[in-house]
Copies of this chain bind each other. A is one copy, B any other.
Amino acid sequence: MSIIDPMPPAILLLSGGLDSATCLAEARANAFDLIYTLAFDYGQRHRHELSCAIKIATHYQVKEHRVVTIDLRAFGGSALTADIDVPKDQIIDAPTHRTPEHAITNKPLPITYVPARNTIFLSYALAWADVLGIDDVFIGVNALDFSGYPDCRPDYVAAFETMARLGTRRTQFRIHAPLVHLTKAQIIRRGLELGVDYAMTHSCYDPTPTGQACGHCDSCILRKRGFIDAGVSDPTVYA
Query: Which residues of A line the B interface, CB within 8 A?
Result: 66, 68-72, 74-77, 105, 109, 115-120, 123-124, 126-128, 130-131, 150-151, 153, 155-156, 159-160, 162-164, 166-169, 171
Minimum CB–CB distance from A47 to chain B (whole Å) comes to 17
Contact of A109 with B74 in the complex, beta carbons under 8 Å: no
Question: With A and B bound together, what is the CA distance between A68 and B77 in angstroms?
Answer: 16
Contact of A105 with B150 in the complex, beta carbons under 8 Å: no
Q: 8 nearest interchain CB pairs?
A: A77-B131, A115-B130, A116-B127, A159-B163, A151-B167, A156-B166, A116-B126, A120-B123
Question: With A and B bound together, what is the CA distance between A131 and B76 in angstroms?
Answer: 7
Contact of B74 with A66 in the complex, beta carbons under 8 Å: yes
- Can you give 22 A-B contacts (C-beta < 8 A)? A68-B71, A68-B74, A109-B169, A115-B126, A116-B127, A116-B164, A117-B127, A118-B167, A119-B126, A119-B127, A119-B168, A120-B120, A120-B123, A123-B123, A150-B168, A153-B166, A156-B166, A159-B159, A159-B166, A160-B163, A160-B167, A162-B162
A156: which B residues are within 8 A, CB to CB? 163, 166-167
Question: With A and B bound together, what is the CA distance between A126 and B121 in angstroms?
Answer: 13
Minimum CB–CB distance from A10 to chain B (whole Å) comes to 16
A119-B126, A155-B166, A159-B166 known; 13 new pairs, CB 8 Å cut-off, are A66-B74, A69-B71, A70-B71, A75-B124, A75-B128, A76-B131, A105-B169, A116-B164, A118-B167, A119-B167, A120-B123, A150-B169, A162-B163
A109: which B residues are within 8 A, CB to CB? 169
Minimum CB–CB distance from A137 to chain B (whole Å) comes to 12
Question: With A and B bound together, what is the CA distance between A151 and B72 in angstroms?
Answer: 23
Question: With A and B bound together, what is the CA distance between A108 and B156 in angstroms?
Answer: 29
Question: With A and B bound together, what is the CA distance between A164 and B123 in angstroms?
Answer: 12
User: Could you say which of B71, B74, B119, B127 contacts A115, with CB atoms under 8 Å apart?
Assistant: B127
Question: With A and B bound together, what is the CA distance between A171 and B159 in angstroms?
Answer: 14
Contact of B167 with A150 in the complex, beta carbons under 8 Å: yes
A128: which B residues are within 8 A, CB to CB? 75, 115
Contact of B116 with A123 in the complex, beta carbons under 8 Å: yes
Question: With A and B bound together, what is the CA distance between A118 and B168 in angstroms?
Answer: 10
Question: With A and B bound together, what is the CA distance between A118 and B164 in angstroms?
Answer: 11
